[in-house]
Chains A and B, each alone.
Chain A
Amino acid sequence: MKLTLKVWRQADANSPGAFATYEATDVTEEMSFLEMLDVVNEQLEAAGEEPIAFESDCREGICGACGCMINGQAHGHVERTTTCQLHMREFKDGETIVIEPFRAKGFPVLRDLIVDRSAFDRIVHKGGYISIRTGSAPDAHAVAINKEDADRSFDAAACIGCGACVAACPNAAAMLFTGAKITHLGLMPQGQPERYTRVQAMTEQMDKEGFGSCTNVGACTNVCPKGIPIDVIAQMNGDLLKSLFRLRK
């Protein structure tokens, strides 16, 4: 396969960026999208040019490090797939592919396709946990958890923190990400004591980071590589509303 790539190049956060065009030759169907970029980069490097900066680590779709807009879609057009798991058999010979970083106020571009997603960490710092000291846990079987709640909790816990939901949202909202953590912990008996303080603290930080609010577009769940259901946002909003009564002083 032969492809034309239009790639966003930007030296650093303070410089303006622009698209550059590259020809990718000798692409095979078995290659992953990032391996295709590796080949382009190796050629650039051997020629003494600076390669396209992009992030990836596990290349198994679980670490959440990779992610860019491919032809306008976060992680590309294949459903429930991270950029690293997208394969070239999904593209046609001769195609032009436009590659850009995730764009959102809360995710400043650091270089080329790399953005700063540390806002996600700061949201978790505010309460995305159950406060339990190491060593003070009761026996794991002390509390039985019904399978349905455990499974739904797991569905939400599967979030990899890649940020595609924010990139796809016209409001650049981080509500699928935040709602997933609220739902994961809020459905478990262990998560109950901090349930309402958690939702208040995390949503407050989410707003501070410059993320927008949900208007029920649903783009987030469509691009989510882990298929996090949109009802986690309803769960979060419901908990936030309840918290206003429960935590009334």
Chain B
Amino acid sequence: MSRSSVPGMLIALAVLIAALLFAFTVGRYPAGLGDLFHVIAAKLAGRPSGVPHAAIDVLLRIRGPRVLAAVLVGSALAIAGAAFQGLFRNPLVSPDLLGASSGAALGTVLGIYFSLGAFAIEATAFAGGLAAVGAVYLIGSAMRARDPILLLVLTGVVIGALLGAGVGLVKYVADPYNQLPAMTFWLLGSLAATTASDLVPLVGPVALGTLVLLALRWRMNVMSLPDEEARALGVPTGPLRIAIIAAATLVTSASVATAGIVGWVGLVVPHIARTLVGPDFARLVLAAALLGGGFLLAIDTVARTATATEIPLGILTALVGTPFFIWLLAGMAKTWS
């Protein structure tokens, strides 16, 4: 790691740690970090901690899994965003560019429509995300074009619109009293229902996708060059593109299946990470993971503590993300002119 990136990485790490401390300390149930330390210290010393059992339960079974899920989802979306922005050589790309979110949304509303259980709904969301991106890739690469990337993006936009219409249709025919509110809540994103068992289907895909992206870090740097130059350096752009898209999609679909649609993280966080540690992909991914985890955790902590009822994540991330996006566009408008 070059010396110049160390401060940036430390800042990203500090953000995550601060968010973790904050998240464990506050909540609607009166239990905090102090109780957790009491329990651990008492366990080590082999004496009873005196902390009520319910408080420990809240920290370990409810707040703990949710905090971990927020960090994982935020990291995953930021990593996928960084990968897509590099791959598509475009700073305005987010991880749902190829339809992962719209596919997951359709999977979920169908799951709710057919009254499936909570886990089955997550599975349909995950499968929906993978299937959508798979379809986009197959259609986009079946056509021969001079600019395969542009074609892929356009296919993603079109398929995304089709899936959006599908979501609209299912909402239209759904039971307006029971199913429609459930669909609306899910589409706005929330981690309210997270339990420890939700972490298993989240950790696996996220870890696998991240490892693949990290293993490809050198080639990923080359992918941000134009195709011809990358090929001239001996990098097979086609297969590599599949691998990156598959890894990023795996990561995105798993997060969307757990948290619902949480926009902006995958778009905004990679930019902040880039200003902190520079464009080298390995460092960028690491910084984006730390920042994304910290950012979404902070947002989710606000979502669950600000009022007695949950504030949807999608609304909070948009409130933070929109000003940043406008700032980003303003900066780009300068370079365009």
A and B associate: no
Write the residues of chain A forming the contact surface with B, with a CB cutoff of 8 angstroms.
none
